[in-house]
């Protein structure tokens, strides 16, 4: 028999040439039916939709039919026919079925309605389920949208290193990189580890952010963005933190604070709109099964103008709330770092809209943020979202060499080996700014999933690094 080329299910379901002979390959989601006819729902990952395969049992070897179980992998050749009962327009009247991979009854994705915790233990198999298929197709689409957004606006995709010798951003939460024998560490007379004979000849770690090198890129190329993994050994076991996550960091020359906020807002809206337009089936599924308010929330973000709120005013609103009897776990006053309960109060209860908070006290923000005239605040911007809290952190950068140096000294920032960063301010310094978006926080928002561990294929968190 002549070999028929395989059709992906996503393409098959678009076709109307009924009567054609087709071949599909995929995994059995369910099988039902009678002694005479079997209805097999087959999925190949190309879409959330299954195609129904109708098999007249008497035409097939009974031993083979027994092997068509949930999770088994099949190759089916048959006639494409119009369908009335399957929920799709197309179904396949099977002529040949080959079992490519049998699936015994202890298949961990056998039962529906398992908890997310259960699914996480089988991260290598959960990708075959409807929910995770939807999440990871959306994740792919968001990556494409991000590249398209920046490319269309003349940003260059700039690759920053993952291994870094600077610890001025993430001291304390960095993973060290070494080829040293950890069982036999050489130390100097002060008890300090000697790194001169380590691979890089100095202490190195995995990066917590590509921003500093991103600034180098921007000051040559004008506007760049990074999109890569970052690592933080923060021991925060929250549903919003991973030890390995992906970050998008645009950096733009000649941008001021209002323009930076415009870019942040336009960027997120573009991504959400892309999902609404390109991930309809998956979003409808998630809206039905995971979060009934999802699509409405996405639409509302695309349509509403984000609130732009100076930190000082935000604190006033929160203090007012406390006065009126609202209970927060953590106290609020000017100068404090906002906890996620505070951010969520502003976004979900007070404004009921995304909020871009700006002009933070300088002592709770990074050394490189541009200092305001008041001497107290800096031009940082956090974009706060419903359900998520902080989704973006950004700032206009301090471009004055002297002001930057003064801040570095005041804050005791370890700038050893950072001469190259300071050179940007020394030679042709320019106003610039940028932000970091946590990719998984965006995916959380767009999918309605509750835990960041469920929007990355193989999460890395304290005490877990399986798969």
In the complex, which residues of this chain contact ligand ATP (CB under 6 A)? 232, 234, 240-242, 245, 247, 390-393, 436-438, 440-441
How far apart (Å, rounded) are the C-alpha atoms in residues 153 and 250?
12
CB of 437 to ligand ATP, least distance (A): 6
Partners of 307 in the β-ladder: 355
CB of 460 to ligand ATP, least distance (A): 10
How far apart (Å, rounded) are the C-alpha atoms in residues 274 and 271?
5
Enclosing H/E stretch for 358: strand 355-361
Q: What backbone phi and psi angles, to 5 degrees, belong to 133?
A: -60, -45
Q: Tell me whether residue 241 or residue 269 sits nearer to ligand ATP (CB atom).
A: 241
Please, are residues 73 and 100 in contact by the beta-carbon 8 Å criterion? Answer: yes
How far apart (Å, rounded) are the C-alpha atoms in residues 416 and 166?
8
Please, are residues 198 and 179 in contact by the beta-carbon 8 Å criterion? Answer: yes
CB of 418 to ligand ATP, least distance (A): 18
CB of 467 to ligand ATP, least distance (A): 18
Q: Tell me whether residue 432 or residue 441 sits nearer to ligand ATP (CB atom).
A: 441
CB of 209 to ligand ATP, least distance (A): 6
Q: Tell me whether residue 76 or residue 437 sits nearer to ligand ATP (CB atom).
A: 437
**Which of 242, 259, 250 has its CA nearest to residue 208?**
242
How far apart (Å, rounded) are the C-alpha atoms in residues 446 and 134?
11
Q: Tell me whether residue 237 or residue 412 sits nearer to ligand ATP (CB atom).
A: 237
CB of 230 to ligand ATP, least distance (A): 8
Q: Tell me whether residue 245 or residue 367 sits nearer to ligand ATP (CB atom).
A: 245
Dmax (CA) of the chain: 85
The CA-atom distances, in angstroms, between 447 and each of 132, 160, 344, 434 are: 10, 28, 18, 26
Q: Tell me whether residue 78 or residue 436 sits nearer to ligand ATP (CB atom).
A: 436
Q: Tell me whether residue 44 or residue 398 sits nearer to ligand ATP (CB atom).
A: 398
How far apart (Å, rounded) are the C-alpha atoms in residues 21 and 186?
70
**Which of 136, 146, 141 has its CA nearest to residue 435?**
146
CB of 248 to ligand ATP, least distance (A): 9
Q: Tell me whether residue 386 or residue 393 sits nearer to ligand ATP (CB atom).
A: 393
Please, are residues 171 and 367 in contact by the beta-carbon 8 Å criterion? Answer: no
Q: Tell me whether residue 69 or residue 450 sits nearer to ligand ATP (CB atom).
A: 450
CB of 453 to ligand ATP, least distance (A): 10
Please, are residues 20 and 80 in contact by the beta-carbon 8 Å criterion? Answer: yes
In the sheet where 223-231 sits, what is the strand order?
Answer: 156-157, 223-231, 244-253, 432-438, 389-396, 377-385, 355-361, 307-310
407 token code pair: 């801040």
Q: Tell me whether residue 97 or residue 247 sits nearer to ligand ATP (CB atom).
A: 247
CB of 394 to ligand ATP, least distance (A): 8
48 token code pair: 């959330």
CB of 242 to ligand ATP, least distance (A): 4
**Which of 267, 275, 291 has its CA nearest to residue 391?**
267
**Which of 115, 139, 141 has its CA nearest to residue 126?**
115
How far apart (Å, rounded) are the C-alpha atoms in residues 129 and 116?
12
């Amino acid at each position: 028999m002549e070999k028929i080329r395989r059709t992906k299910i996503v393409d098959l379901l678009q076709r109307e040439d009924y009567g054609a002979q087709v071949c599909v390959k995929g995994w059995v989601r369910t099988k039902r039916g009678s002694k005479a006819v079997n209805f097999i729902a087959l999925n190949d990952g190309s879409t959330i939709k299954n195609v129904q395969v109708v098999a007249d049992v008497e035409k097939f070897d009974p031993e083979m039919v027994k092997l068509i179980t949930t999770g088994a992998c099949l190759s089916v050749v048959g006639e494409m026919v119009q369908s009335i009962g399957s929920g799709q327009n197309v179904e396949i009247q099977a002529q040949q079925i080959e079992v490519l991979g049998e699936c015994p009854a202890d298949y961990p994705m056998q039962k529906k309605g398992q908890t997310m915790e259960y699914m996480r233990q089988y991260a290598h198999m959960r990708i075959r389920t409807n929910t995770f298929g939807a999440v990871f197709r959306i994740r792919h689409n968001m990556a494409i949208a991000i590249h398209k957004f920046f490319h269309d606006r003349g940003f260059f995709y700039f690759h920053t290193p993952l291994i870094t010798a600077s610890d001025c951003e993430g001291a304390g939460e960095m993973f060290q990189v070494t080829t040293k024998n950890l069982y036999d560490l050489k130390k100097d007379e002060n008890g300090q580890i000697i790194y001169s004979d380590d691979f890089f000849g100095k202490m190195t770690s995995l990066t917590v952010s590509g921003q500093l090198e991103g600034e180098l890129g921007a000051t040559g190329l004008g506007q760049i963005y990074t999109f890569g993994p970052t690592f933080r050994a923060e021991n925060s076991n929250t549903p919003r933190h991973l030890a390995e996550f992906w970050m998008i960091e645009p950096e733009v020359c000649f941008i001021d604070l209002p323009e930076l906020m415009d870019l942040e807002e336009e960027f997120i809206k573009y991504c959400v709109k892309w999902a609404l337009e390109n991930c309809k089936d998956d979003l409808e599924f998630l809206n039905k099964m995971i979060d009934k308010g999802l699509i409405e929330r996405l639409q509302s973000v695309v349509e509403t103008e984000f609130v732009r709120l100076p930190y000082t005013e935000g604190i006033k609103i929160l203090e007012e709330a406390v006065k009126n009897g609202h209970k927060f776990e953590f106290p609020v006053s000017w100068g404090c770092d906002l906890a996620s309960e505070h951010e969520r109060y502003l976004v979900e209860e007070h404004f009921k809209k995304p909020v871009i908070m700006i002009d933070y006290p300088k002592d709770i923000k990074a050394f490189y943020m541009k200092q305001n005239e008041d001497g107290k605040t800096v031009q940082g911007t956090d974009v706060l979202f419903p359900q998520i809290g902080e989704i973006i952190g950004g700032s206009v950068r301090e471009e004055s060499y002297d002001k930057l140096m003064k801040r570095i000294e005041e804050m005791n920032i370890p700038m050893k080996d950072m001469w190259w960063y300071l050179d940007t301010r020394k030679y042709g310094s320019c106003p610039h700014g940028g932000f970091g978006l946590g990719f998984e926080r965006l995916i959380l928002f767009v999918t309605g999933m509750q835990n960041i561990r469920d929007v990355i294929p193989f999460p890395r968190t304290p005490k877990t690094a399986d798969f």
